[in-house]
Structure 1
Amino acid sequence: MSRGVHRIILRSNARITEDECVRSSAELLKLTGGKPAAVLLQITGVGSVSRAAISLCSGGTPVTAFAILGGTHVDRVMAHSLIRLAPPECPTRYFTEEEEAVIWLRMW
């Protein structure tokens, strides 16, 4: 990813739980050194994301903006659930094109 934008790829067909979220948050903290960063969250093909995982992830990592990348109708529905639960101070938007998502993230 480009400087200042970090990618988290959630596993296809996975059911994302608190454990997966803890792993992703730790990975992101390691990449950013704890500094705020823009994140491209790739959810293509993910089976489900639990509410507990969303709550845990939304509070533990300094994120300036989330671009959620997906490609299916199911991804879009899941992304809109994630957007509703994102902290109000964190801009969050769904994209189907990676390049468009990265351009948007660079604004933050």
Structure 2
Amino acid sequence: MSNQQTTRQQGGTDLASAEKIEIGLDDGGIVEVVLPVCSEIGAPEAQAAAAVVRSMSGGRKRPVLMTVTGVLDITDGARAVYAAAETVSAFALLGESPVDRVLAHFLLRATPQSVPARYFTSEAAAREWLAGYLRES
């Protein structure tokens, strides 16, 4: 993560102790969320991560870069939590594989139409796109 401030958050009991959702705020104001590889993300994990994102956002809407590389499953409950995010000005979902793309599009379908959201395989392209939503936040 290319951030100044990083918080590691584990929520619920579905994640093994070594697996953590990494959440940080980069120097430019983009919130970075890295979902753990080989994990299943449920509502408890998503709620814990959302609480940290709200806290980091300081009441401002911020763009979010969420890395989904290697995630095994995202439940309907987790998808509902991410779809209800109140402090997000735009979502960029980052992945590498066809499975990552499927999971990302599962999340994208739940994103409110008022929140721009896209899938990327290039972190640089995702950050460039999100930079346009920093000015609006």
Per the normalisation by structure 2, the TM-score is: 0.75
Specify the alignment match of 2:120 in structure 1: 95
Q: Give CA deviations for 1:11-30 in whole Å, capped at 9, x if unaligned.
A: 11111001110111011112
Number of the residue aligned with 2:91: 66
Contact 1:4 1:37 in 2 (8 A): yes
Task: Provide the aligned length of Structure 1 versus Structure 2.
Answer: 108
1:60 Cα shift? 3.6
Cα deviation code 1:46-91 (max 9, x no counterpart): 0100111111222143100000000011001111111111111010
Query: Secondary structure of 1:46's match?
Result: coil
Q: Percent identity among equivalent residues? A: 34
CA contact (8 A) 2:30 2:64 kept: yes
Which structure's CA Rg is the greater one? 2
More displaced 10-residue stretch of structure 1: 67-76 or 80-89: 80-89
Over the residues paired in the alignment, what is the CA RMSD in angstroms? 1.0
Alignment gaps of 5+ in structure 1:
none
Structure 1 segments, 4+ long, off by >6 Å, are none
* Residue 106 (structure 1) aligns with: 131
- Using structure 1 for the length normalisation, give the TM-score: 0.94
C-alpha deviation, 1:34, in angstroms: 2.5
Distance 2:106 2:79 in 1: 10
Alignment of 1:7-18 (within 5 A): 7-18=32-43
The unaligned stretches of length 5 or more in structure 2 are 1-25
Higher relative contact order, structure no. (Cα contacts within 8 Å, ≥ 6 residues apart): 1
